[in-house]
Structures are given as structure tokens and as C-alpha cells.
Chain A
């Protein structure tokens, strides 16, 4: 387990190194002055710029410039937004929780629906349910997400009027910003309208989550189906069959657990995909998350914000990736230590 942890840690360091180099070089690549791109101080006077240049060690070589940039990053200083003049760190902290909420709920929903349906398809391999599920999955991951979002708004918000179409919560409710995760903040608050607020926030969450979760759910269906087919083909299933266990016993006790492990290994890779979908969905549903902020920063040529957003969003994805790796290792002894058994 120690080696496993060290390896993951090593990978994390290497990844962060590459990412920071990437974002540092972006400040050169973006149009305009490099120092201004890096700090976001567009209105600074020449004296202030001189102080900043000193702070970021502009006179020395590239390597020490990079290290001073790293140093600033470690202290949580990512410069100032070129449009709002607020520190990027504050902007990000205000918006990241909304994205975390949306993506994590969507990931759970996608797994919760995708896995059982995929298993079902594998059990009825090459029969009607299997073909039906495969067809739905094909359409599901081919559908353009912005179109799906618009259709969902038209049908469920405008025509049927069941669910709200934009935002995170109705403006009537005043919720104190504690963790930033709306649902948890509501539960922590002592407002007398706590439950109404909670209901309202949940209603706002439903449509975006379904839109984000659809494509990953269909991918999980396919992953779960092929994992289950692989497991059902193994010798221990045949042995269990020969022992005279019933079909449901085999599925629930033996096949399902082993198939779930195989799927979990690939969840990390799908998460990056899910975040991409979430970025577009945030724009459509006016969700106050980091994806919408990033896309707006491009319209406004806010290069400091793009840089900061890249670092934060990718770090978030890597952290989720590593957490999923650890969950996988915790569930599967084979991945932890080779001596636990042969593959």
C-alpha cells in the first residue's frame, strides 16, 4: 500500500509540475505584456509595475521567474482578474463549490443509473433488452449536450413548468456562504425557511444534473456491460454454477462485485469528460460555477482568469482521479499488492 501511495504521490507532483509550467508559459503565449497577463494588473502605474516586476523576479532568468511564480501560487496568489479587479483566488473560491456540487452529484447519478442498466444488458446478452440498451447508449453519448440542455429547458421549464431553468437557488432565500456547497450550507443555516430553501435548491439542481449525467451514464452502461460479460465468462462463475447456486446468487454474490471493481477503475478517466460537459451545461443553465466563469473570461479577454481557472479545474480533476484510484485500490487487493494473488 505504501508503494502504491508513493507512486500516486509521485505522479501527482509530476502532473502539478507540468501544469504549472503550462500555465506559466501561457502568460507568454497570450497576447499582451507577460507581466500584466501574469498579475492581471492592467491599470498599474509604471512604479507599481516596477515593484511587481521585482516581486516576480523579471530581471533574472526564466527558471527563477518560474520559481517565483510557483512561490506566489503556493501562497494562494494567482493575480487579479482583469475585469472585476478581484483576486483570482477569491473568484475561484466563490465559484468552484458550485461546480464541485454539480459534477459530483452528476457523477453519482450517472453511476447509480449506468451500472445496473449495464449489468442488466450483460445478463440479457444479445437479447432484446441488450439491443435496446445499446441503442439508447449510442444515442445518449452522441447527443450534443448544449442541444439536450436547451430541449430540457423548453420541455420541463417552459412548456410543463415543472422545474426552474436557471441559477442555483431562488433569489428569495438568503443563505450564508459557509462551505460554498449550496445544499450543505442550507442544512447548516438556521433560517426558518430551511426546508423550503432546500427543496428549492434541489429543484434547481435536477435539470442540470440530468443533462450532465446522461452521456457519462451511457458510457458507464457500456463499461458495466463489457465488465459483466468478462466476469460471467470466468472460471469461478462456472465453478459457482457447477456448485448449483441459483442465477441470482451468482450475480449478486460473485459477478456484480467483481464487475463493479472493473468499472470503478475507469471512472477517473470519465470524470474529465464529465467536467467538460458540465462547463457547457453551466453556460446554458446560468449555473454560477467555474466553467461559465472561464468561458466568460474568454469573451472578456481576461487572461489571468483563464490561467487560474486552468490550474484550479485541472487540479480538481486530478484530485478526484487520485481519490478514485485509492477507492479502487481499497476495493481491489490485486491492485494494491501483487502478492495478494495472481491476475
Chain B
């Protein structure tokens, strides 16, 4: 973007603005970002825009195929399931469960992870070495196994699944915050504000966080795609959302028995999961690319 220099004044964009400027360059990333925003809008407005309730039964329209099939009915655009519930409404409601909850889960574990990570970056010696090893151990246990164990302690259910996934995601945020804060602390500008007499907390708040926030966001997108897949996987295994809830994984599990006679009850939730994970990954990919471009300049 060419900027005409009319004024003498130099303008320095903030790190986040620079990131956005680099981020929006590749068109694929913008499409992904558009899809991401679309999903957020769907999740927020789910109750308003769905044509039917997600649990309403239409008993004279059981297992109706999608509207483009010969037997379809246009008032049920994506067909109905074995209890005559409208698939489109269920999918939209599912957006706020699977996709919307994954955002909340990631924000919660990001907040906890950043606090623990920055505190641990300020400590040194045996405590920090122990924490490092501890994190390595936790990070190498498969996330689903850990989530399953936490669900076993808390008991099945959507809410307990969310707590489990929050706990599973925390270590990676602790890890990345710790490393990023350590890296920044070694730089000269931090030394300068330290010589000005700033306390560690103040340095963290005003000097370091603005500089590492984009790293955290890019890790958060990675974590979010994992969270979507984990919520859906636990729902599919019957450990997460109970079957009547329109959570995508639970919908898939509900459709498995009907796979052969009503394949759309399995195709559609799967495609919805795939779509949301690809959109999230595209955003994350664009973010990492933008970070790399900025580093090279």
C-alpha cells in the first residue's frame, strides 16, 4: 500500500496493526478469515435465525433427504434426521455449541496459561526447571487420553468436557508464554525500562505483552482447532454432549446407525466440523505467515 508522505510526522503502527497489514495480503487467508467471522455470527445469532427449534419433531417428515434430492422438501433445506428434527437448524445451533464453546474454552485456558507462564518466566532455578520438566511430561501425554481421564473423574457431560479440554490446553500456553517472555526479557528495551525503575509486573504489562500478543494469538488458533476436534470427538464417543444436544460430534454419533439409509445425517455434521477447523487453521496459518514476514523485514 503506497502511503503519500504529506506530513513530516512519522507514523508507527502498533504490532497488532502491522500484523493485520501483513495478515490480509494473501486472498486465501482472507477467505478463511471471512468464514471464521461467518461462523462467529452464526454462533451468536443461532437462536434467532434457525427456522425450527433444534429439538422440535416433525413426525410426518422423518429422514427427509436434503432439498436438492428428488424426495426432498424445500422447507427442510438440509433434510431431517430419524426423529424428524430439521438438520439445518440443528447444524446452526451446533455452531454455537461446538465452535462457540471452543472459542470460550481457548480464551479461558489462554488466560490461565498466560498468568502461570509469565509468573514462571520470572522465577529461576530448581522451581522453573521442575516446571519445565513437568510441562514436558504433560505435553507428551495424548490430549484425548488426558481429557478422557479428567472426564472419568468429573463424570460425562458437556460442561465437564469443557473443563477437561481447558485443562488439557493450559500447558501449551504456559510453555509458549514462558519462552516468549524469557526471550523478550533478554532484550535491551526491557533493560532500559528496568533502569528507569519499572517493576517486573509493570514491564510485563506495558513492555512485554504488547510484543508477544501475536504469538499467543497464533498459538490460540492452533489450540482452537484442537479444541473443536476434541469437543466433537468426545461428543462422538458419548462422553461429551448428550445425544439430544445438537453438538456436531453427538449428531454424528446419532447418525451412525442410519449411515446407510440416510447418509446426510453423517455427511453434514462431519462437513461442518471440517469447515470450521479449516477456517480456523487458515486464520492461524495466515497469522504465522504474517509473523514470519514481519520478522524478515
* A, B from the same assembly: yes
Q: Give residues in A with beta carbon < 8 Å to B.
A: 11, 14-15, 18-19, 26, 29-31, 138-139, 141-147, 150-151, 154, 158, 269, 272-273, 275-276, 279-280, 283, 294-295, 298-299, 303, 306, 310, 313-314, 317-318, 321
Interface assignment of B273: CB less than 8 Å from any CB of chain A: yes
Report whether A146 and B252 are in contact in the complex, using a CB–CB cutoff of 8 Å. yes
Report whether A142 and B281 are in contact in the complex, using a CB–CB cutoff of 8 Å. yes
Given A276-B144, A314-B141, A318-B140, verify A150-B256 contact (CB < 8 Å): yes
Chain B residues with Cβ under 8 A from A143's Cβ? 274, 277
Interface assignment of B2: CB less than 8 Å from any CB of chain A: no
With A and B bound together, what is the CA distance between A139 and B273 in angstroms?
11
Interface assignment of B110: CB less than 8 Å from any CB of chain A: no
Report whether B237 and A283 are in contact in the complex, using a CB–CB cutoff of 8 Å. yes
Interface assignment of B88: CB less than 8 Å from any CB of chain A: no
Report whether A26 and B142 are in contact in the complex, using a CB–CB cutoff of 8 Å. no
With A and B bound together, what is the CA distance between A142 and B238 in angstroms?
21
Report whether B233 and A298 are in contact in the complex, using a CB–CB cutoff of 8 Å. no
With A and B bound together, what is the CA distance between A10 and B94 in angstroms?
47
- Selected from B137, B143, B278, the residue in CB contact (under 8 A) with A138 is B278
Chain A residues with Cβ under 8 A from B285's Cβ? 138
The stretch that binds A, out of B35-43, B147-155, B203-211, is B147-155
What is the interface residue range for chain B against chain A? 35 or more
Best-surrounded residue of A30, A143, A144 (most CB of chain B within 10 A): A144
B30 vs chain A, min Cβ distance (A): 15
- Selected from A150, A283, A299, the residue in CB contact (under 8 A) with B266 is A150
With A and B bound together, what is the CA distance between A143 and B271 in angstroms?
9
Report whether B252 and A138 are in contact in the complex, using a CB–CB cutoff of 8 Å. no
Best-surrounded residue of B142, B225, B282 (most CB of chain A within 10 A): B142
Report whether B145 and A276 are in contact in the complex, using a CB–CB cutoff of 8 Å. yes
7 A-B pairs with least C-beta separation: A147-B270, A276-B142, A142-B277, A276-B144, A142-B278, A144-B273, A146-B236
A13 vs chain B, min Cβ distance (A): 11
Interface assignment of B134: CB less than 8 Å from any CB of chain A: yes
Report whether A138 and B281 are in contact in the complex, using a CB–CB cutoff of 8 Å. yes
**Complex interface residues of chain B between 198 and 239 (CB less than 8 A to chain A):** 225, 229, 232-233, 236-239
Report whether A30 and B140 are in contact in the complex, using a CB–CB cutoff of 8 Å. no
Chain B residues with Cβ under 8 A from A154's Cβ? 259-260, 263
Chain B residues with Cβ under 8 A from A14's Cβ? 133, 137
With A and B bound together, what is the CA distance between A15 and B135 in angstroms?
10
With A and B bound together, what is the CA distance between A206 and B145 in angstroms?
24
A130 vs chain B, min Cβ distance (A): 13
Report whether B141 and A142 are in contact in the complex, using a CB–CB cutoff of 8 Å. no
11 A-B contact pairs sorted by A residue (CB < 8 Å): A141-B281, A142-B277, A143-B277, A144-B236, A144-B270, A144-B277, A147-B270, A295-B237, A310-B149, A313-B145, A321-B140
Q: Which residue of B lies closest to A215 (CB)?
A: B229
Report whether A317 and B237 are in contact in the complex, using a CB–CB cutoff of 8 Å. no
Best-surrounded residue of A283, A298, A306, A313 (most CB of chain B within 10 A): A298
- Selected from A11, A26, A142, A280, the residue in CB contact (under 8 A) with B149 is A26
Given A138-B285, A144-B270, A144-B274, verify A306-B143 contact (CB < 8 Å): no
B172 vs chain A, min Cβ distance (A): 12
Chain B residues with Cβ under 8 A from A299's Cβ? 238
Interface 1/0 per residue, B146-184 and A, CB below 8 Å: 001101110110000000000000000000000000000
Chain B residues with Cβ under 8 A from A321's Cβ? 140
Q: Which residue of A lies closest to B255 (CB)?
A: A150
Q: Which residue of A lies closest to B150 (CB)?
A: A29
Report whether B260 and A272 are in contact in the complex, using a CB–CB cutoff of 8 Å. no
- Selected from B142, B155, B282, the residue in CB contact (under 8 A) with A279 is B142
Chain A residues with Cβ under 8 A from B233's Cβ? 144-146, 280
Chain B residues with Cβ under 8 A from A29's Cβ? 153
Report whether B148 and A298 are in contact in the complex, using a CB–CB cutoff of 8 Å. yes
Given A144-B273, A147-B274, verify A15-B137 contact (CB < 8 Å): yes
Report whether B142 and A317 are in contact in the complex, using a CB–CB cutoff of 8 Å. yes
Report whether A272 and B142 are in contact in the complex, using a CB–CB cutoff of 8 Å. yes
With A and B bound together, what is the CA distance between A59 and B152 in angstroms?
27
With A and B bound together, what is the CA distance between A139 and B236 in angstroms?
20
Given A30-B153, A142-B274, A295-B237, verify A275-B142 contact (CB < 8 Å): yes
With A and B bound together, what is the CA distance between A252 and B141 in angstroms?
36
Chain A residues with Cβ under 8 A from B238's Cβ? 299
With A and B bound together, what is the CA distance between A269 and B256 in angstroms?
32
Given A142-B225, A147-B273, A294-B148, verify A18-B140 contact (CB < 8 Å): no
Chain B residues with Cβ under 8 A from A272's Cβ? 140-142
With A and B bound together, what is the CA distance between A75 and B252 in angstroms?
43
A34 vs chain B, min Cβ distance (A): 13
Chain B residues with Cβ under 8 A from A295's Cβ? 148, 237, 239
Q: Which residue of A lies closest to B130 (CB)?
A: A14
**Complex interface residues of chain B between 101 and 150 (CB less than 8 A to chain A):** 133-134, 136-137, 140-145, 148-149
Report whether B140 and A269 are in contact in the complex, using a CB–CB cutoff of 8 Å. yes
Report whether B143 and A276 are in contact in the complex, using a CB–CB cutoff of 8 Å. yes
Chain B residues with Cβ under 8 A from A139's Cβ? 274, 278
Chain A residues with Cβ under 8 A from B232's Cβ? 144, 146
With A and B bound together, what is the CA distance between A272 and B263 in angstroms?
32
Chain A residues with Cβ under 8 A from B134's Cβ? 18
With A and B bound together, what is the CA distance between A254 and B153 in angstroms?
52
Report whether B266 and A147 are in contact in the complex, using a CB–CB cutoff of 8 Å. yes
Report whether A150 and B144 are in contact in the complex, using a CB–CB cutoff of 8 Å. no
A308 vs chain B, min Cβ distance (A): 12
Chain B residues with Cβ under 8 A from A141's Cβ? 281
With A and B bound together, what is the CA distance between A279 and B239 in angstroms?
14
Q: Which residue of B lies closest to A278 (CB)?
A: B142
With A and B bound together, what is the CA distance between A242 and B225 in angstroms?
44
Report whether A26 and B153 are in contact in the complex, using a CB–CB cutoff of 8 Å. yes
Q: Which residue of B lies closest to A146 (CB)?
A: B236
